[in-house]
Amino acid sequence: MPTRPVQLSIDEDLLQRVDADPEARSRGRSAFVRSAIRLYLEAKRRRSVDEAILRAYDGKDDVLLAEIEEMIGAQSWPER
């Protein structure tokens, strides 16, 4: 995917920490920042999914347990 230059303001302490990181030194600041942003957005998406799951099953422990028991019972285990 083509990249597009953008201007960011970063405080001096954070910039020094980025510049001191071996990955940022080997790959460059831009690649390091892109990677950090991707990781942050993915973590944020995962938290959102986790929160939705918690809301969906809030107070329904017995329903969740029944679903898991059904899945485990349906699994086929190899014989040794």
Quick: pLDDT tens for 38-77: 999 999 999 999 999 888 878 777 777 887 887 887 777 7
Within a domain: 7 = no
pTM of the complete model beyond 0.95: no
Within a domain: 5 = no
Helix 29-57 with 61-74: angle, nearest 10 deg? 100
Within a domain: 67 = yes
**In which domain, by residue range, is 24 found?**
13-74
Beta-carbon contacts of 29 under 8 Å, excluding residues fewer than 6 positions away, are: 18, 19
CA dihedral 60, 61, 62, 63 (to 10 degrees): 50
Structure tokens at 3: 């990249």
Structure tokens at 7: 């201007």
**Per the structure, how many domains does the chain have?**
1
